[in-house]
Structure 1
Amino acid sequence: MHERYPDDRLRAPRFPVAPARAYAATPHGLIHYAEQGAGVPVLLLHQTPRSWDEYRDVLPLLGARYRAIAMDTLGFGASDRPAGPWSIELFASGALALCDALELEQVALVGHHTGGVIATEMAAREPGRVSALVLSGVPYVDAARRAEVARRPPIDEVTPRPDGSHLTGLWNNRRSYYPDDRPDLLNRLVRDALHVLDRVEEGHRAVNAYRMEDRLGLVRAPALVLCGEQDSFSRPDMAALVERLPDARTELLPGTGVPSADHRPDLFAAAVTRFLDRVLR
């Protein structure tokens, strides 16, 4: 059964302080991150083709109770770009390397879409380092899904054209997932996508190649499977994830879909905070 909560929103400080931003040197290159708050560390992992900016409005809310850290996955945002093939395993290695660089012995993970798949691999590979796991809008990837997705057209891939019409194509590819009254959210996604335009689909391909069915059973951290109630892409997979995770519960965020973290940062941060307060304190 999905848990539903009243709209007890966290509130940002009246005069919010911008998050601190920095680079960490790792064996995979420089990794860019933003952080806010203090206390138990919570690492936030974004979807493809976003950056830490996906959590820009979540950081001050989550940072009111925790040390909230939003990173740019290797290859995305301002982090260094790996030259070789991209994979969930590589992205997870980069995130764990950031934890090493920041001397985080244990961390709670929050991942949205691709970020949630990365978080799953981190929790499966290093279960002792992950204190809690939030999977937001995460698909269950198994052989059947891999075959189905392989038949679909690319999500964000466009061919650059001299007249710039590929920008409209990139916008329209995502338009149906975003609220009509929030073009600013699509502006932010397109900006991030342009930074990785030549490899924009590799994050999606990495998700589809990942053998999640072999890894979920290795997760030991308590988990929250979170999804926007209008997210038709990932909501059908919530039950499959909960069934395969040793300790998991679900929650739906009312009135939002795929872009839940940036569309309704108040609801997103409140749900994450409630869960972390429950399992960590």
Structure 2
Amino acid sequence: MHHGFADTRHGQVHLVEEGAGAPVLLLHQTPRSVDEYRDVLPLLGRRVRAIALDTLGYGLSAKPSGEWSIELFADGVVDVCDALRLDRVTVVGHHTGAVVATEVAASVPDRVEALVLSGMPYVDARRRHQVATGRPPIDAVTRAGDGSHLRALWENRAPYYPADRPDLLERLVRDALAVIDRVEEGHEAVNRYRMEDRIGRVTARTLVLCGELDTFSLPDVEKIVAAIPGAVAEILPGTGVPSVDHRPDLVADAVLRFLEAAPAT
């Protein structure tokens, strides 16, 4: 895999790529990094040019000092396309990355060839109300001198991760520590996003993916499919929220089958 950086209006974005051919951008969930796609990249790279980005604020990318938003994250993705001279791309996003991918496809529809939305929540007025009236934060912790906040990070996510794969949670906690002071801001950006005003602008051929154990996003699959004309869905067996790094084989296979299928007429 090849590492690099691209200049954007908000600072440099770190990227990792493998393979050649049609460009496929990979956007991670909060608070991850390109590490989330480390096992997907070589699988996709056999047939396409797979490029994973550290979203602005995460991993080795620049950390803007102002408020983080889905629109800011999407600006970074579009600027990476400009820097790499990519006129048309496929965008694959997981959880927060899927929301960012939606905004990219809505803001520059002429540049998005295809879209894969993995584990994406449908963010509308009802969801925003639920969050505002008591839904607990996902990753927010208070730094403690005895290091107990590390255990809190683990325990917050443990219910969504397979008990026999502690390595997956270790990777998430490592990424979370890199943004510990702003670890919840990606989720907050998602919950401010007015998806209902933007998703109807998506014109790209779209695949909606979700793990069958992803109780967080699975209930929204039908809403997303209904909101994007021609969108199709696929449910991945035996995996949930961490589907990208838990079952990279299933994710890569689903993406490649979708990209290689003839568009509906």
The answer to whether the superposition gives a TM-score over 0.5 is yes
Task: Give, in whole Å, the separation in 2 of the partners of 1:104 and 1:149.
Answer: 37
CA distance in 2, matches of 1:73, 1:35: 15
1:83 aligns with 65
Q: Verify the 8 A CA contact 1:43 1:107 in the aligned structure 2.
A: yes
Question: Could you tell me how far 1:279 is from its partner in structure 2?
Answer: 4.7
Name the SS of the counterpart of 2:234 in structure 1.
strand
1:176-200 deviation digits (Å, cap 9, x = unpaired): 1111111110010000000001001
Output the TM-score relative to the length of structure 2: 0.98
The residue identity in structure 2 corresponding to 1:258 is V
Matched, 1:59 2:41: yes
Aligned length: 263
Q: Is the 8 A contact 1:110 1:116 kept in 2?
A: yes
User: 1:226-268 CA deviation, whole Å, 9 max, x = no partner?
Assistant: 0001111100000000111012000000000000000000011
Q: CA RMSD in A?
A: 1.0
For residues 5-62 of structure 1, the C-alpha deviation after alignment (integer angstroms, 9 at most, x for no partner) is xxxxxxxxxxxxxx11111122211110000000000000000000011000000001
Partner of 2:156: 173
Counting only pairs closer than 5 Å after superposition, residues 80-159 of structure 1 correspond to structure 2 as 80-150=62-132, 151-159=134-142
**Structure-1 separation of matches of 2:138 and 2:69:** 17
Structure 2 unaligned regions, length at least 5: none
Cα deviation per residue 1:66-123 (whole Å; 9 max; x = unaligned)? 0000000000000000111000000000111011111100100000000000000000
Instruction: Give me the identity figure in percent.
Output: 67
Amino acid paired to 2:110: G
Match of 2:220 among 233, 237, 260: 237
Q: Helix, strand or coil for the counterpart of 1:32?
A: strand
Asked if the contact 1:43/1:109 (under 8 Å) is kept, the reply is yes
Runs of 4+ in 1 over 6 A off after TM superposition: none
- Structure 1: how far apart are the matches of 2:81 and 2:12? 13
Work out the CA distance in 2 between the residues paired with 1:216 and 1:70. Answer: 23
Aligned-partner SS, 1:176:
helix
> Counterpart of 2:31?
49
In structure 1, distance between residues paired with 2:9 and 2:123: 29
The whole-number CA distance in structure 2 between the counterparts of 1:26 and 1:158 is 30
Shift of 1:278: 1.1
User: Is 1:253 paired with 2:233?
Assistant: no
